[in-house]
Chains A and B, each alone.
Chain A
Amino acid sequence: MFFNSLLTNFAALEVGQHLYWQIGNIRLHGQVFLTSWILLGALLVFISLGTKKMENDPKGIQNLLEFLWDYIRDLARTQIGEKVYRDWMPFIGTLFLFVFVSNWGGALIPWRLIKLPSGELGAPTADINTTIALALLVSLSYFYAGLSNKGWRYFEYYVHPTPIMLPFKILEDFTKPLSLSFRLFGNILADELVVGVLVFLVPLILPIPVMFLGLFTSAIQALIFATLAAYYIGEAVEEHH
């Protein structure tokens, strides 16, 4: 009896339901774009406010933005290295900000109050399309970084330190985007599901610690994603001697 009600509650969560937008021949997950536009719009407004009147003596939002910038620079510099980190800092920072804003926005804003005809609003990163898109961008950028910095010598990396590594290094090119996308997707979706189920089962108090845990996980996942992306790029541009 209890198990049955649990299942119906799961169904009430509408897992795997999407708000489909049909544009010509292609179909899109509308809820992902809606939430991402709202969250990115908020992020851009916040950043515009902070950078509108830049002073040498930072105040308010500018202070926070400078802290963020410094944090992202440190992340990029430690992982990519002094030589080329300037080129990749905007990309790493965008990944970090996008994932962080998506995760936290999905966890903090009560999207469920907005009723959609199908599916429900939530973190854009809880959709596999988003995370695979991010992971493939990371793959493309580390190939691009390696090739543009070292030319064909980039492929020395595959036989470094010995040619025995070749199959493993090739396999890594597939496991890197796979692990990146599924780690983020799984963590955020699982957090949403756990909070959703708990809210359905015990609407009071009990979900709160799980929600805090979810916020923690969300921040950590953003950091992990950005750090790993930077690490892969750093690995590709690193000079072997």
Chain B
Amino acid sequence: MLAFNFFGATEGGLFDINATLPLMAIQVIALTYILNSLFFKPVGNVVEKREKFVSNNIIEAKNKLSEVKKLEADLLTQLQSARTEAQRIVSEAESESDKLYKEALELANNEANASKEKARLEIESQTSAARDQLSKQADELSELIVNRLILEK
């Protein structure tokens, strides 16, 4: 009985294949076109536009980041060279001032030495002059004493 109800009915039954099949196929094909123009195309456009926008933004951001990194490296090298330059200038100035100091010191020393020598020479000459005079006076005096002694006798 069950089997009869399921499959054996002269009209109907589970496996009753008729014009429903091709019409349903046509309906599905029509649905494909309708859904394509109503759903797949517009939604796809929006989603893909957004995906493009996002990926473009990511690429742009990456480019900007690499640019920033390049600039940073550039600035770092500039800073480095500026530092070494500054160091060089400072050390140059230091050596210069050292040199100047040394020169000035030497000059002063020389001058002092020269004036000292001059004074020494003067003192020497004056001393010898004084000694000469003294010995002359002593000679005169001794002559005078000798003369007197001789005369008294």
Q: Do A and B come from one complex?
A: yes
Contacting residues of chain A (40-55) with chain B, CB-CB under 8 angstroms: 40, 44, 47-48, 51, 54-55
Tell me if A134 and B28 are in contact (CB < 8 A).
yes
C-alpha spacing A127/B11, complex, angstroms: 15
Q: Sorted from nearest, which 5 A-B pairs have the closest CB atoms?
A: A129-B20, A26-B19, A90-B36, A133-B25, A133-B24
Q: How far is the CA of A201 from the CA of B21 in the complex (A)?
A: 34
A69 interfacial contact with B, CB 8 Å:
yes
Inter-subunit contact B5/A10 (CB<8 Å): yes
Interface contact A47-B38, CB-CB below 8 Å: yes
> B8-38, CB under 8 A of A: which get 1 and which 0?
0101111111111111110111011011101
Tell me whether A89 is interfacial, beta carbon within 8 Å. yes
Q: Answer yes or no: B131 CB below 8 A from chain A CBs.
A: no
Residue in contact with A129 in the complex, picked from B11, B17, B38, CB distance below 8 Å: B17
Q: Contact: A89 with B40, CB < 8 Å?
A: yes
* B50 at the A interface (CB under 8 A): yes
Q: Does B46 contact A (CB under 8 A)?
A: yes
The reply on B114 being an interface residue by CB < 8 A is: no
B20 touches A51 (CB 8 A): no
Please name 13 pairs of A and B residues whose Cβ atoms are closer than 8 Å in the assembled complex, sorted by A: A15-B6, A27-B18, A28-B18, A47-B38, A54-B43, A56-B46, A90-B32, A90-B35, A93-B40, A94-B35, A127-B20, A129-B17, A132-B21
Residue of A nearest to B45 (CB): A54
A36 within 8 A of B: yes
Q: Which one of A10, A16, A97 contacts B13 once the chains associate, using CB atoms below 8 Å?
A: A16
Chain B residue at minimum C-beta to C-beta distance from A27? B18
Rounded to whole angstroms, the CA-CA distance of A25 and B27 in the bound complex is 20
> Is residue A7 contacting chain B, with contact meaning CB distance below 8 A?
yes
Using a CB-CB cutoff of 8 Å, which residues 82-136 of chain B contact chain A? none
In the complex, the chain A residue whose C-beta lies closest to that of B11 is A20
Could you list 10 further interchain pairs (A-B, Cβ under 8 angstroms) beyond the known A16-B16, A65-B39, A97-B35? A15-B5, A26-B18, A44-B38, A51-B43, A56-B46, A90-B32, A93-B39, A119-B12, A127-B20, A133-B28
Give the bracket for the number of chain A residues in contact with chain B: 35 or more
Query: Is there an interface contact between B17 and A69, defined as CB atoms closer than 8 Å?
Result: no
What is the total number of residues of chain B having a CB less than 8 Å from a CB of chain A? 40
Which of B12, B22, B34, B38: most chain A Cβ within 10 A?
B12
CA distance A97 to B17 in the complex (A): 24
If the complex has contacts A128-B14, A133-B22, A133-B25, are A54 and B46 also in contact, measured as CB distance less than 8 A? Answer: yes
The distance from the CB of B28 to the nearest CB of chain A, in whole angstroms, is 6
Residues in A whose Cβ lies below 8 Å from that of B42: 51, 54
Interface presence of B47 (CB below 8 A): yes
Partner of A94, one of B1, B14, B32: B32
Instruction: Give the docked Cα–Cα distance between A19 and B15 (Å).
Output: 14
Q: Which residues of chain A are within 8 angstroms of B15 by Cβ–Cβ distance? A: 128
Q: Judge whether A66 is part of the interface by a CB distance below 8 angstroms.
A: yes
**Is B150's CB within 8 Å of the partner chain A?**
no
Q: Are A129 and B24 in contact (CB under 8 A)?
A: yes
Asked if residues B31 and A40 are in contact (CB atoms below 8 Å), the reply is yes
* A44 to B53 Cα, complex, angstroms: 29
| A121 CB–B CB distance under 8 Å | no
A97 to B38, CA, bound (A): 13
Which partner residue on chain B sits nearest A97 by CB separation?
Answer: B35
A91 CA to B36 CA, complexed, in Å:
8
Contacts of A66 in B (CB 8 A): 43, 46-47
- Within 8 Å CB of B149, what residues of A? none
The answer to the question of B2 belonging to the interface, with a C-beta cut-off of 8 Å to chain A, is yes
Which residues of chain A in 127-158 are interfacial with respect to chain B, using CB atoms and an 8 Å cutoff?
Answer: 127-130, 132-134, 136-137
